[in-house]
Amino acid sequence: MTSSPLPETTIDHFRRDGAVKLSGVFDKDWIAELRDGIDRNMREPGTYAKEYTPEGKPGYFFGDYCNWQRIPEYDRFLKDSPAADLAGQLMGARKVVLFHEHVLVKEPGTEERTPWHHDQPYYCIEGTQTCSLWIPLDPVPREVCVEFVAGSHTWGKRFLPTKFKGEAYERGDEGLEPLPDIELQRGEHTILGWDMEPGDAIAFSFLTVHGAPGNPGTGGNRRRAFAARFCGDDVVYVKRKGEVSPPFPDVRLNHGDPLRGEEFPVLRG
Protein backbone atom coordinates (compact mmCIF):
# COMPACT_ATOMS: atom_id res chain seq x y z
CA MET A 1 0.00 0.00 0.00
CA THR A 2 1.28 3.45 -0.86
CA SER A 3 0.77 6.55 1.25
CA SER A 4 -0.18 10.06 0.24
CA PRO A 5 2.82 12.22 -0.66
CA LEU A 6 4.35 13.78 2.43
CA PRO A 7 4.66 17.58 2.51
CA GLU A 8 8.10 18.81 1.53
CA THR A 9 8.30 20.62 4.89
CA THR A 10 7.92 17.28 6.69
CA ILE A 11 10.71 15.72 4.64
CA ASP A 12 12.88 18.79 5.23
CA HIS A 13 12.32 18.58 9.01
CA PHE A 14 13.23 14.88 9.02
CA ARG A 15 16.49 15.57 7.21
CA ARG A 16 17.33 18.69 9.26
CA ASP A 17 16.36 17.50 12.75
CA GLY A 18 16.67 13.73 12.39
CA ALA A 19 13.14 13.25 13.77
CA VAL A 20 9.67 14.42 12.77
CA LYS A 21 6.09 13.68 13.81
CA LEU A 22 3.77 12.21 11.17
CA SER A 23 0.14 12.80 12.13
CA GLY A 24 -2.62 10.33 11.29
CA VAL A 25 -0.66 8.23 8.78
CA PHE A 26 -2.09 4.84 9.87
CA ASP A 27 -5.79 4.05 10.03
CA LYS A 28 -7.49 2.30 12.93
CA ASP A 29 -7.38 -1.10 11.23
CA TRP A 30 -3.57 -1.06 11.11
CA ILE A 31 -3.41 0.03 14.74
CA ALA A 32 -5.76 -2.84 15.69
CA GLU A 33 -3.53 -5.23 13.71
CA LEU A 34 -0.44 -4.13 15.64
CA ARG A 35 -2.25 -4.34 18.99
CA ASP A 36 -3.23 -7.92 18.19
CA GLY A 37 0.36 -8.64 17.20
CA ILE A 38 1.76 -7.24 20.45
CA ASP A 39 -0.77 -9.25 22.45
CA ARG A 40 0.46 -12.37 20.65
CA ASN A 41 4.11 -11.32 21.12
CA MET A 42 3.70 -10.86 24.88
CA ARG A 43 1.92 -14.21 25.23
CA GLU A 44 4.58 -15.92 23.14
CA PRO A 45 7.86 -13.98 23.59
CA GLY A 46 10.59 -14.46 21.04
CA THR A 47 14.24 -15.45 21.37
CA TYR A 48 15.34 -11.88 22.15
CA ALA A 49 12.57 -10.85 24.54
CA LYS A 50 13.64 -8.80 27.57
CA GLU A 51 11.94 -7.78 30.80
CA TYR A 52 13.64 -4.61 32.01
CA THR A 53 11.70 -4.05 35.25
CA PRO A 54 13.49 -5.60 38.25
CA GLU A 55 11.53 -8.02 40.39
CA GLY A 56 9.56 -6.19 43.06
CA LYS A 57 9.50 -2.86 41.20
CA PRO A 58 6.20 -1.36 39.96
CA GLY A 59 4.99 -1.52 36.40
CA TYR A 60 6.43 -3.66 33.62
CA PHE A 61 8.87 -2.78 30.80
CA PHE A 62 8.89 -5.41 28.02
CA GLY A 63 10.91 -5.41 24.82
CA ASP A 64 11.31 -7.82 21.90
CA TYR A 65 12.44 -7.72 18.28
CA CYS A 66 12.88 -9.71 15.06
CA ASN A 67 9.52 -11.50 15.28
CA TRP A 68 7.89 -10.41 12.02
CA GLN A 69 8.49 -13.78 10.37
CA ARG A 70 6.52 -15.64 13.08
CA ILE A 71 3.84 -13.05 13.97
CA PRO A 72 1.46 -12.65 11.02
CA GLU A 73 0.12 -9.29 12.19
CA TYR A 74 3.62 -7.80 12.06
CA ASP A 75 4.29 -9.37 8.67
CA ARG A 76 1.10 -7.93 7.18
CA PHE A 77 1.75 -4.48 8.63
CA LEU A 78 5.34 -4.26 7.44
CA LYS A 79 4.58 -5.50 3.92
CA ASP A 80 1.11 -4.08 3.25
CA SER A 81 0.71 -0.87 5.29
CA PRO A 82 1.97 2.56 4.11
CA ALA A 83 4.99 2.27 6.46
CA ALA A 84 7.64 1.34 3.88
CA ASP A 85 6.38 3.97 1.43
CA LEU A 86 6.55 6.68 4.12
CA ALA A 87 10.10 5.66 4.98
CA GLY A 88 11.09 5.70 1.31
CA GLN A 89 9.79 9.23 0.87
CA LEU A 90 11.65 10.47 3.93
CA MET A 91 14.92 8.75 2.97
CA GLY A 92 14.66 9.76 -0.69
CA ALA A 93 15.30 6.12 -1.56
CA ARG A 94 14.24 4.14 -4.61
CA LYS A 95 14.61 0.86 -2.71
CA VAL A 96 13.22 0.25 0.79
CA VAL A 97 14.51 -2.78 2.71
CA LEU A 98 13.12 -4.06 5.99
CA PHE A 99 15.81 -4.20 8.66
CA HIS A 100 13.70 -5.38 11.61
CA GLU A 101 10.87 -4.49 13.98
CA HIS A 102 11.16 -3.68 17.69
CA VAL A 103 8.40 -3.65 20.29
CA LEU A 104 8.61 -1.70 23.56
CA VAL A 105 5.81 -1.82 26.14
CA LYS A 106 5.73 0.22 29.34
CA GLU A 107 2.77 -0.55 31.54
CA PRO A 108 1.42 2.13 33.92
CA GLY A 109 3.66 2.49 36.96
CA THR A 110 6.88 1.66 35.10
CA GLU A 111 9.80 3.71 36.42
CA GLU A 112 12.55 2.45 34.08
CA ARG A 113 13.54 4.86 31.35
CA THR A 114 15.01 4.01 27.99
CA PRO A 115 18.55 5.44 28.20
CA TRP A 116 19.83 8.03 25.74
CA HIS A 117 21.49 6.36 22.75
CA HIS A 118 21.49 6.22 18.98
CA ASP A 119 20.85 3.03 17.10
CA GLN A 120 23.27 2.65 14.22
CA PRO A 121 26.33 1.56 16.28
CA TYR A 122 24.22 -1.31 17.67
CA TYR A 123 23.55 -2.56 14.16
CA CYS A 124 25.35 -4.60 11.49
CA ILE A 125 24.78 -1.91 8.85
CA GLU A 126 26.23 1.35 7.57
CA GLY A 127 24.71 3.96 5.29
CA THR A 128 22.92 7.30 5.35
CA GLN A 129 19.45 6.31 4.17
CA THR A 130 17.85 4.97 7.33
CA CYS A 131 14.46 5.49 8.93
CA SER A 132 12.66 4.14 11.98
CA LEU A 133 8.95 4.68 12.46
CA TRP A 134 7.98 4.74 16.16
CA ILE A 135 4.26 3.99 16.20
CA PRO A 136 2.27 4.39 19.44
CA LEU A 137 -0.71 2.09 19.94
CA ASP A 138 -2.01 4.10 22.90
CA PRO A 139 -2.35 7.84 23.54
CA VAL A 140 1.09 9.09 24.64
CA PRO A 141 1.31 12.49 26.35
CA ARG A 142 4.46 14.53 25.77
CA GLU A 143 5.82 13.79 29.25
CA VAL A 144 6.15 10.04 28.55
CA CYS A 145 6.95 10.28 24.83
CA VAL A 146 10.28 9.18 23.41
CA GLU A 147 12.53 12.24 22.98
CA PHE A 148 15.08 13.19 20.32
CA VAL A 149 18.09 15.51 20.23
CA ALA A 150 17.46 17.63 17.16
CA GLY A 151 20.32 17.55 14.66
CA SER A 152 22.32 14.87 16.49
CA HIS A 153 22.33 12.68 13.35
CA THR A 154 24.65 15.28 11.77
CA TRP A 155 27.24 15.33 14.58
CA GLY A 156 29.51 12.91 12.70
CA LYS A 157 29.97 10.79 15.82
CA ARG A 158 29.36 7.17 16.76
CA PHE A 159 28.59 6.52 20.42
CA LEU A 160 29.34 3.31 22.30
CA PRO A 161 26.21 1.15 22.47
CA THR A 162 24.88 0.44 25.95
CA LYS A 163 22.37 -2.22 26.89
CA PHE A 164 19.14 -0.88 28.31
CA LYS A 165 20.10 -2.37 31.68
CA GLY A 166 23.28 -0.31 31.70
CA GLU A 167 26.25 -2.42 30.57
CA ALA A 168 28.30 -1.27 27.59
CA TYR A 169 28.73 -3.58 24.61
CA GLU A 170 32.11 -5.21 23.97
CA ARG A 171 33.07 -3.70 20.63
CA GLY A 172 36.86 -3.47 20.38
CA ASP A 173 38.53 -0.44 18.85
CA GLU A 174 35.97 1.08 16.47
CA GLY A 175 36.51 4.72 17.46
CA LEU A 176 33.26 4.79 19.41
CA GLU A 177 32.86 7.58 21.96
CA PRO A 178 31.03 7.62 25.29
CA LEU A 179 27.67 9.35 24.92
CA PRO A 180 27.54 12.77 26.60
CA ASP A 181 25.20 13.10 29.58
CA ILE A 182 22.22 14.38 27.62
CA GLU A 183 20.01 14.59 30.70
CA LEU A 184 22.54 16.83 32.43
CA GLN A 185 22.96 18.90 29.26
CA ARG A 186 19.29 19.23 28.28
CA GLY A 187 19.52 23.01 28.24
CA GLU A 188 22.26 22.86 25.61
CA HIS A 189 20.15 20.98 23.07
CA THR A 190 16.82 21.22 21.32
CA ILE A 191 14.89 18.23 22.64
CA LEU A 192 11.97 17.09 20.49
CA GLY A 193 8.91 15.21 21.72
CA TRP A 194 5.22 15.30 21.03
CA ASP A 195 1.75 14.42 22.26
CA MET A 196 0.94 11.31 20.25
CA GLU A 197 -2.27 9.48 19.33
CA PRO A 198 -2.77 6.05 17.76
CA GLY A 199 -2.38 6.54 14.01
CA ASP A 200 0.53 8.96 14.44
CA ALA A 201 4.20 8.03 14.09
CA ILE A 202 7.60 9.54 14.73
CA ALA A 203 10.15 9.06 11.95
CA PHE A 204 13.81 9.25 12.90
CA SER A 205 17.27 8.45 11.58
CA PHE A 206 19.27 5.55 13.02
CA LEU A 207 21.87 8.18 14.03
CA THR A 208 19.52 10.47 15.97
CA VAL A 209 20.19 10.41 19.72
CA HIS A 210 17.02 9.56 21.62
CA GLY A 211 15.73 8.23 24.93
CA ALA A 212 12.44 7.89 26.75
CA PRO A 213 11.10 8.38 30.27
CA GLY A 214 9.27 5.70 32.18
CA ASN A 215 5.50 5.54 32.41
CA PRO A 216 5.19 6.19 36.13
CA GLY A 217 1.54 7.20 36.60
CA THR A 218 -0.44 4.19 37.81
CA GLY A 219 -3.66 5.77 36.56
CA GLY A 220 -2.36 6.42 33.03
CA ASN A 221 -2.37 4.52 29.77
CA ARG A 222 -0.26 1.62 28.72
CA ARG A 223 2.53 2.77 26.41
CA ARG A 224 2.74 0.19 23.65
CA ALA A 225 5.01 1.17 20.77
CA PHE A 226 5.92 -0.67 17.58
CA ALA A 227 9.08 0.48 15.81
CA ALA A 228 9.60 -0.45 12.15
CA ARG A 229 13.16 -0.01 10.89
CA PHE A 230 13.93 0.51 7.20
CA CYS A 231 17.04 1.03 5.06
CA GLY A 232 17.49 2.65 1.66
CA ASP A 233 19.71 2.41 -1.40
CA ASP A 234 23.13 3.07 0.14
CA VAL A 235 22.91 0.85 3.23
CA VAL A 236 25.22 -2.18 3.35
CA TYR A 237 25.92 -5.04 5.73
CA VAL A 238 29.01 -4.64 7.93
CA LYS A 239 30.83 -7.06 10.20
CA ARG A 240 31.48 -5.34 13.55
CA LYS A 241 34.35 -6.17 15.89
CA GLY A 242 32.07 -7.34 18.69
CA GLU A 243 28.47 -7.81 19.74
CA VAL A 244 25.66 -6.33 17.66
CA SER A 245 21.96 -6.06 18.34
CA PRO A 246 20.02 -7.66 16.74
CA PRO A 247 22.64 -10.41 16.30
CA PHE A 248 21.26 -11.89 13.04
CA PRO A 249 23.20 -15.13 13.59
CA ASP A 250 22.03 -16.81 10.37
CA VAL A 251 22.83 -14.01 7.90
CA ARG A 252 25.20 -15.10 5.13
CA LEU A 253 26.31 -11.75 3.76
CA ASN A 254 29.83 -10.44 3.30
CA HIS A 255 31.10 -7.14 4.63
CA GLY A 256 29.90 -4.40 2.26
CA ASP A 257 27.10 -6.42 0.64
CA PRO A 258 23.72 -4.75 0.02
CA LEU A 259 21.02 -5.99 2.37
CA ARG A 260 19.06 -8.84 0.81
CA GLY A 261 17.67 -12.29 1.46
CA GLU A 262 14.97 -13.66 3.71
CA GLU A 263 16.10 -11.62 6.71
CA PHE A 264 16.11 -8.31 4.82
CA PRO A 265 13.29 -8.34 2.24
CA VAL A 266 13.01 -5.55 -0.30
CA LEU A 267 9.58 -3.97 0.27
CA ARG A 268 9.69 -1.21 -2.34
CA GLY A 269 11.75 -0.73 -5.49
Return the number of other C-beta atoms located less than 10 Å from residue 79's C-beta: 14
pTM of the shown model: 0.96
Return the number of other C-beta atoms located less than 10 Å from residue 216's C-beta: 17
Q: For residue range 232-253, what is the model confidence (pLDDT) as tens digits?
A: 999 999 999 888 999 999 999 9
Given a cut of 50, the residues of the chain with pLDDT beneath it are: none
What confidence score (pLDDT) does residue 218 get? 73
Contact status, residue 266 vs residue 97, Cβ threshold 8 Å: yes
Q: For residue range 166-202, what is the model confidence (pLDDT) as tens digits?
A: 677 777 667 899 999 999 999 999 999 999 999 999 9
What confidence score (pLDDT) does residue 173 get? 65
User: CA 243, CA 231: separation in Å to the nearest integer?
Assistant: 21
Strands 61-65 and 50-51: antiparallel
User: CA 131, CA 232: separation in Å to the nearest integer?
Assistant: 8
Angle in degrees, CA 46, 48, 52, rounded to 5: 110
What confidence score (pLDDT) does residue 172 get? 67
Angle in degrees, CA 46, 54, 138, rounded to 5: 60
What confidence score (pLDDT) does residue 200 get? 98
Q: 94: helix, coil or strand?
A: coil
Strand segments, DSSP code E, in 23-78 are: 50-51, 61-65
